[in-house]
Structure 1
């Protein structure tokens, strides 16, 4: 009989478009979460989010590439030109060699890059190599960029070369090196990009017969990927993707933990009555006046901001919540039902009566409440992260918003930094809310006739 009623309920649920849309959103988020866990394992996600050398080829504060496409723009993307793809000319001399490494690239974008860096690697050298840099533009201009002694790992930031900036007429090097010289002379404040084939020639002297030099020229773009980058060059898509399983796991575990424990405690109090029920009610009343968010802030400030510790505290604080009084009111008439008396007559134990006859009677009514409770905990986790009390190791939606707030993203024009995680949070709340409200109309007898 119960199976038939459940099938009827699900068929009735399919009538509500809001329920179907909500389920589609939840399935989409669940699919993203599962795919992320498979493609980017937990340890790898933590290692990548810490930053470091992994992100040094990414631009700083770059907006998503698709935004530029929608606007019909042609903003610069990041270009990486490596010496392993170049034809190196070698000229030996007594005690060493002279290497000429051409780094050539075609620049076809409508805007200037945000930065230019040269990464050099010279390992296995007994004496420090020396390199001179020469920039060659499509119009035949040649600009000497100076000479450098190279260590094992060297990063030459051409964009921060102040002497080069003065020689380029006050233009930043990543603009002056790619600017049209005719336009630069007429309107120095707003130069135009000179598209074409550029070349950075590395004229190196090494004092070793075998060891060489590896070079990478990186022209950082103004846009990057599907989500952009932050102030530490990290790809925000990592946090947006990994924030999905973290948010859903936090919300689901917290909702399951608080709902089930609260329901069981309410049922035990109703069945045993007396001092057991009185003690549960007094604990509930005390817990109801405790502010959850300030307690979590205190735990995060004084002890730890681990997301799993926060989850445990949330479940503990939710055990004796106001839901106990609601469940108690629903269970009191069930305790006096005739089938409970019949169960006592054939010798059913207290535990069996609670688990087999009392709890299943109200579970269908609690399903909508459980579904709508999940986004509440998702927003709670994000709120803690925005307040700076999120897990510092985990890439989450709230952590992205916290970084955006600390870097004044909205005031600096990095709207994408705030909008993307905010949309994901709203989608999560919308999906569970739409499904929960439809479930309430299906399983709640008082709303079936409305």
Structure 2
């Protein structure tokens, strides 16, 4: 019977709700956020990004302050896009127990601005002599790196062309420059990738012209015994543009950070709103039902909290005690529970005088049964509407405190990303992709729950339909 009533009520509610266009927009946005939350590991390029957001080594291969890849559509000169090449053609030569393993990575270069760096990665075990060469489209082959690594068991090895190949690139450059010009070139200031991806000829350092075509980077490793190994090779192209939302000045992928922030935004908003409204509804009902000293205590506490400003209190406590996110949510609950109290109190006073409440008392029903069986169910619909309207406030308060650098640094929130952008000079540097997405998402989440809350309010409170 109860299930049937609930289904009937649900159908009626949805029939009215879907007539509110803003409410439908809110539901659509909520579904989108839930999709991002559920499929986070599959839609971000760095699945461990939320856990290792502050681990600089995890982001080492990304370009710093790179614009989103799609900005190439609006540029006359196309910049190299960041990419990871894992497929390699492997060949092995063996002689007297020594294996020479060559892995060749093919990179099709079709851009006007070369990548910032090219990085070869693999895991090494033992002593592994290693060389990295590149074969250009014009037939020129350059040895970029040659060295022996001494590693432990499957120790990560990273070879950066930008840091290790200046001498090799300078030797290549000298073949096409006069002695006077070559003598003026500072090897330490030389940009290897701009030369590697440029047409061979005089002036390719000062005014490089892009050499489009097929580049083959070959990673050669010599294994001097069965206990030596070089596994999991990959070639990372550190492009000038990267990913869906670019990177920050610490090389962190911003799309990964934005998606990671969804779960914290929803958790902070929904949990704070649920606890606050639940406490507020119970407090309002108890105040109206018991009256006397209970009403006096609840109303005095209500008046004290209402007259204390939340944001300054949050800022002071966060600055002094370095609060984590759970303390933040607890403090917001202490303030937010006062929101529904007065409305619930007035509604509960009317419900208390109903005939069926008097009848329940007459047959010996206890206060707890009357409150939770007869009064709370009538106020639950109002609670849902109030809850939806409290979510944006909780998210904005957390973002504000985080923007000031006082948030919980152990988690990734949109407020933390905005704080990093402020500290990193994103505004002065024109890094709009670091500022706009987190700010826009905060506004969108607020708009989502505002639309849902207002739509529910109109349905559950018919007097509001004329507003």
Match of 2:464 in 1: 447
The answer to whether the 8 Å contact 2:116/2:239 transfers is yes
2:348 pairs with 324, 331, 337, which one?
A: 331
State whether structure 2 residue 355 is matched by structure 1 residue 352.
no
Cα distance in 1, alignment partners of residues 447 and 330 from structure 2: 26
The answer to whether the 8 Å contact 2:132/2:145 transfers is yes
Cα distance in 1, alignment partners of residues 336 and 404 from structure 2: 21
Match of 1:252 in 2: 270
Cα distance in 1, alignment partners of residues 460 and 442 from structure 2: 27
Match of 1:61 in 2: 65
Give the number of aligned pairs.
439
The Cα of 1:266 is off from its aligned counterpart by 1.4
The answer to whether the 8 Å contact 1:179/1:191 transfers is yes
**Runs of 5+ unmatched residues, structure 1:** none
Residues 39-438 of structure 1 aligned to structure 2 (within 5 Å):
46-51=50-55, 53-69=57-73, 74-80=78-84, 85-88=89-92, 99=100, 101=102, 103=104, 105-110=106-111, 111-119=113-121, 122-125=124-127, 135-143=134-142, 145=144, 147-152=146-151, 154-160=157-163, 163=167, 168=173, 169=185, 171-182=190-201, 185=203, 189-200=206-217, 211=228, 216-319=234-337, 321-438=338-455
Cα distance in 1, alignment partners of residues 243 and 259 from structure 2: 13
Cα distance in 2, alignment partners of residues 38 and 218 from structure 1: 20
The Cα of 1:194 is off from its aligned counterpart by 0.6
**1:318-357 CA deviation, whole Å, 9 max, x = no partner?**
33x2432333233333333444334333333222332333
CA gap 1:373/1:73 in 2 versus in 1, 3 angstroms: farther
Cα distance in 2, alignment partners of residues 156 and 8 from structure 1: 64
The Cα of 1:52 is off from its aligned counterpart by 5.4
CA gap 1:72/1:367 in 2 versus in 1, 3 angstroms: farther
**1:281-311 CA deviation, whole Å, 9 max, x = no partner?**
1111111122322333344334344222322
3-state SS, counterpart of residue 180 of structure 1: coil
Cα distance in 2, alignment partners of residues 251 and 311 from structure 1: 9
The Cα of 1:244 is off from its aligned counterpart by 1.6
Cα distance in 2, alignment partners of residues 143 and 235 from structure 1: 32
CA gap 1:80/1:91 in 2 versus in 1, 3 angstroms: farther
Root mean square deviation, CA, Å: 3.7
Cα distance in 2, alignment partners of residues 89 and 236 from structure 1: 43
CA gap 1:121/1:276 in 2 versus in 1, 3 angstroms: closer
CA gap 1:413/1:114 in 2 versus in 1, 3 angstroms: farther
**1:194-215 CA deviation, whole Å, 9 max, x = no partner?**
1123345667777668746566
CA gap 1:309/1:73 in 2 versus in 1, 3 angstroms: farther
TM-score of the superposed pair, with normalisation by structure 2: 0.79
TM-score of the superposed pair, with normalisation by structure 1: 0.82
**Runs of 5+ unmatched residues, structure 2:** 174-184
- Decide which moves more: 267-276 or 389-398: 389-398
The answer to whether the 8 Å contact 1:114/1:221 transfers is yes
The answer to whether the 8 Å contact 1:247/1:378 transfers is yes
Match of 1:17 in 2: 21
**1:179-206 CA deviation, whole Å, 9 max, x = no partner?**
1234x62x86552211123345667777
Cα distance in 2, alignment partners of residues 155 and 17 from structure 1: 54
Cα distance in 1, alignment partners of residues 237 and 11 from structure 2: 60
CA gap 1:105/1:211 in 2 versus in 1, 3 angstroms: same
**1:67-88 CA deviation, whole Å, 9 max, x = no partner?**
4346687432335567963435
The Cα of 1:447 is off from its aligned counterpart by 2.0
3-state SS, counterpart of residue 87 of structure 1: strand
Cα distance in 1, alignment partners of residues 427 and 349 from structure 2: 53
Cα distance in 2, alignment partners of residues 356 and 104 from structure 1: 69
The Cα of 1:273 is off from its aligned counterpart by 1.4
CA gap 1:74/1:89 in 2 versus in 1, 3 angstroms: farther
The Cα of 1:19 is off from its aligned counterpart by 1.4
The Cα of 1:60 is off from its aligned counterpart by 3.0
The Cα of 1:24 is off from its aligned counterpart by 1.4
The Cα of 1:146 is off from its aligned counterpart by 6.2
- Decide which moves more: 206-215 or 165-174: 206-215
